[in-house]
């Protein structure tokens, strides 16, 4: 079996029955089920939702994006072997731990395949909730330029790159472009303060102003659950992105939940503990791939300068990275997933065929 066949690169053309357009992001594709199929699965499988709740099939790919571009390897390798299964396995683990700790549920109702979730439709909160334990990345670059204000929080002078912050920081940013909000630029992914959230809580899709405090609690508690468990593996949880939304349970009650993915190498920075204590930063997350790309190209500024986006996109489209580069990234993702879950990842020789067969034979979602 050629290595390229083990990678699920295209995930928006599966023959899953739907009467809506498939929504495809950088990594995941979402197939909204018909009302009839949603009702049937809720009845047959006993999902804890209202009988008319809209359901979707969410399929994760093995694609890898960095610097807002998708990257591929030589020999037709259109993604990273094992990456999708690793991301899903890690998220599944943390969502389960959050439930065990009594924090909140997620949007996931069923996991029929390592690359597939069945999810309940959520009403997303329009922020990317970033939690930071160390000063690094974009925050460090801004701090080094003299900035001290971050999302309404003032940092002290004298901090050093990659050091632990005095306290766990919440630095939210907008999810999508929100228009007409005083003090909030009309652009995607711009930092906002807690005061901004309180002032415009309805525009950010919070149902009640009090839910801002709940989201902060779920963010900090979730971060601590992951950080504490990673410490037992001698890994450092540096920073992460959480996303939240509202769903309705079987009794018709609306509740705030975790959604998207949590604690993965795509949404978080994870550092190797022994290396950090010896004065080195060894990434166990996608940041490793970003750094690799910055060293791979003779002009790394093309990856950092947003005004060169057209040039960057062309570079990504024509570049075929060496196979060993993507296999190194594969080893990072699969090894951290197996460390966190304590289980060997179940990988398929032909994930596309396996998914279609399973959704047809066991779920009746493929004609």
% the chain with pLDDT above 70: 100
- Token couple for 123: 């009403």
- The stretch 307-316 carries a mean pLDDT of 96
CA distance linking residue 290 with residue 66, whole number of Å = 6
Contact 220, 168 (CB under 8 A): yes
- Per-residue pLDDT of 39-87, as tens digits, reads 999 999 999 999 999 999 999 999 999 999 999 999 999 999 999 999 9
Q: Is residue 338 within 8 Å of 298, Cβ to Cβ?
A: no
Question: H or E stretch including 97?
Answer: helix 83-100
Rounded CA-CA distance 177/239 in Å is 24
State how far the Cα of 258 lies from the Cα of 217, in Å rounded to an integer: 12
Distance of CA 318 to the CA centre of its chain: 26
CA 278 remoteness from chain centre: 29
Task: For residue 266, give the 3-state DSSP assignment.
Answer: coil
Domain ranges of the chain: 3-121+340-361, 123-277
DSSP state letter for 279: T
pLDDT of 180 strictly over 90: no
Q: What is the pLDDT of residues 15-40, one digit of tens each?
A: 999 999 999 988 999 999 999 999 99
Distance CA 183, CA 241 (A): 23
The pLDDT score that the predictor gives to residue 143 is 95
pLDDT at 119: 98
Provide the 3-class DSSP secondary structure of residue 210: coil
Contact 125, 243 (CB under 8 A): yes
CA dihedral 244, 246, 247, 253 (to 10 degrees): 130
Contact 356, 113 (CB under 8 A): no
CATH topology assigned to domain 3-121+340-361: Phosphorylase Kinase; domain 1 (3.30.200)
Confidence of residue 173 (pLDDT cuts 50, 70, 90): very high
- What distance in Å separates the CA atoms of residue 101 and residue 116, rounded to the nearest whole number? 25
**Selection from 226, 241, 291, 233 nearest residue 95 by Cα:** 226
CATH topology of domain 123-277: D-amino Acid Aminotransferase; Chain A, domain 1 (3.30.470)
**Confidence band for 1, pLDDT divided at 50, 70 and 90:** low
Question: pLDDT category, 189, cuts 50, 70, 90?
Answer: confident
């Amino acid at each position: 079996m050629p290595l390229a066949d083990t990678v699920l690169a295209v995930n928006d053309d599966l023959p899953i029955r739907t009467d809506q357009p498939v929504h495809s992001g950088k990594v995941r594709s979402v197939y909204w089920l018909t009302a009839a199929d949603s009702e049937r699965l809720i009845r047959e499988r006993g999902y804890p939702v209202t009988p008319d709740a809209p359901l979707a099939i969410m399929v994760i790919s093995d694609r890898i994006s960095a610097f807002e571009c998708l990257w591929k390897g030589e020999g037709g390798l259109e993604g990273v072997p094992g990456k999708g299964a690793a991301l899903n396995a890690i998220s599944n683990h943390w969502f389960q731990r959050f439930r065990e700790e009594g924090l909140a549920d997620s949007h996931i109702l069923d996991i029929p395949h390592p690359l597939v979730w069945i999810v309940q439709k959520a009403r997303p909160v329009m922020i990317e909730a970033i939690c930071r334990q160390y000063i690094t990345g974009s925050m460090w670059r801004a701090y080094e330029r003299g900035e001290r204000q971050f999302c309404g929080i003032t940092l002290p002078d004298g901090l050093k790159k990659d050091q632990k912050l005095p306290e766990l920081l919440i630095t939210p940013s907008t999810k999508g472009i929100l228009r007409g909000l005083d003090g909030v630029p009309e652009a995607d992914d711009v930092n906002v303060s807690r005061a901004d959230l309180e002032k415009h809580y309805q525009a950010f899709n919070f149902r009640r102003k009090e839910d801002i405090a709940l989201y902060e609690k779920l963010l900090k508690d979730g971060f601590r659950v992951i950080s504490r468990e990673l410490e037992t593996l001698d890994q450092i949880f540096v920073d992460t992105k959480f996303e939240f939304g509202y769903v309705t349970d079987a009794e018709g009650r609306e509740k705030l939940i975790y959604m998207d993915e949590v604690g993965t190498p795509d949404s978080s920075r994870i550092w190797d503990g022994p290396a950090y204590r010896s004065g080195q930063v060894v990434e166990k997350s996608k940041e490793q791939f970003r750094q690799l790309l910055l060293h791979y190209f003779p002009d790394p500024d093309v990856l950092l300068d947003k005004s060169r986006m057209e040039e960057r996109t062309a570079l990504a489209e024509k570049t075929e990275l060496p196979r060993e580069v993507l296999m190194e990234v594969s080893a990072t993702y699969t090894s951290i997933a197996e460390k966190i879950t304590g289980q060997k990842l179940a990988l398929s020789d032909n994930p596309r065929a396996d998914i279609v067969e399973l959704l047809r034979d066991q779920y009746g979602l493929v004609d």
